[in-house]
Amino acid sequence: MKTIGLITGGGDAPGLNAVIRAVVKTAIGVYNLKVVGVEDGFEGLLSETKARELKPEDVRGLLPRGGTILGTRNRGRFVVHDTGGAVKPEESYREAIANIGRLGIDGLIVVGGEGSLGIGLEFDRRGVPVVGVPKTIDNDLACTELTFGFLTALDIATEALDRLHTTAASHDRVMVLEVMGRHTGWIALHSGIAGGADVILIPEIPFTCEAVAEKIYERERCERQFSIVVVAEGSSPVGGQEIYQDAGDRQHAPRLGGVGNFVAQQIERITGKESRCVVLGHLQRGGSPNAFDRMLASNYGSCAVRALVRGERGRMVALHAADIITVPLQKACANLKTVPAESQLVRTARDLGISFGAPDEARHHGKEVC
């Protein structure tokens, strides 16, 4: 192993630059390797290629910086969305692998979520050694307790809930916060508990608007005239579908968005209470990583270099019981890590009186303490 290629793929997340810094410092400082940074995700491996050598001076001051200095893409020529399924275009892999050879890259570190790591796995299967680093604010990757970026997004969502409390209380309103979480409700669940929400809606537990309204009535009976709802963008009503703002096409995956407004409108219709929706969106992804994510991203980056140098391939670094281990990439990409509907944290939320808007919710959650 003389040259490591480094790719950041998928949606950005706080801590990407911390990984880049750790990879460069470890690869050069400890193993005297060369690091080639591929720009704009896997797209940088196609056509003329967009790649440059990363030197120690390129990563100075990067630790607190949001985004990725390499650029990233969450769409492109490696995945074509066809009749609802994702197709892997063989031609793109052939071209990229030839270019990897031309760039002199002996192994790849791929920093990404389920989509990018899935592409990384395909490279590994075609003979390019790959070690993955788990990234996504959604925290939905299997085989790791945490992805970096999640805890920063959680801080941002929690601060938003704190701020919504004071305006909701002043106006006696229902404030609905829509947070990210395409298929899983980790951000909504954790921030909902940390930020004192009254209702948490997640994709794993379909809701009814009547059950949500019931929680608001329950609070009114305790003379609490305002309520806070946090909803993950991928949540849907019982028997209904997720709400999209863009249906997508061959090049673009469908984009979720709109469930927050739907919930706010339905609450207003059923209860007559003035309701407002705030979509937190990409504020959850931008800006500086918090201290834990800087540490975790750095640890992942260094461990990924060590794994590649040890000869590991087709693996992903992962957090397990406060230790970094490596797990098979294939296993990590096989299924998403969803919130178990019967988990301890869901139970705790219900014990605190938080409603998940399930049809039989009243049976589950604790009473509003008047």
Give 97 or 336: the residue with its C-beta nearer to ligand F6P.
336
Helix, strand, coil shares of the chain, percent, nearest 5, are 40, 20, 40
Tell me, yes or no, if 323 is annotated catalytic: no
DSSP one-letter string for 39-92: STGGGGGSTT--EEE--GGGGTT-TT--S-TT---SSSTT-EEETTEEE--HHH
Q: How far is CA 180 from CA 1, 125, 215, 217, in A?
A: 38, 32, 23, 27
Query: Closest separation between CB of residue 137 and ligand F6P, Å?
Result: 5
Give 3 or 74: the residue with its C-beta nearer to ligand F6P.
74
Q: Kindly list the residues in this chain that would bind ligand F6P in the complex (CB under 6 A).
A: 11, 74, 113, 136-138, 180-182, 233, 255-256, 285
| CA–CA gap between residue 368 and residue 30 (Å, rounded) | 57
Marked catalytic residue, from 12, 40, 124, 138: 138
Query: Closest separation between CB of residue 342 and ligand F6P, Å?
Result: 24
Give 173 or 285: the residue with its C-beta nearer to ligand F6P.
285
Q: What 3-state DSSP class applies to 29?
A: helix
Query: Closest separation between CB of residue 276 and ligand F6P, Å?
Result: 22
Give 137 or 176: the residue with its C-beta nearer to ligand F6P.
137
Query: Closest separation between CB of residue 119 and ligand F6P, Å?
Result: 14
Phi, psi angle pair for 111, to nearest 5°: -100, 110
- Name the residue whose CB lies closest to ligand F6P: 180
Question: What order do you get walking across the sheet with 275-279 strand by strand?
Answer: 199-201, 227-232, 174-179, 275-279
Give 13 or 205: the residue with its C-beta nearer to ligand F6P.
13
Query: Closest separation between CB of residue 193 and ligand F6P, Å?
Result: 19
Instruction: Give the catalytic positions in this structure.
Output: 138
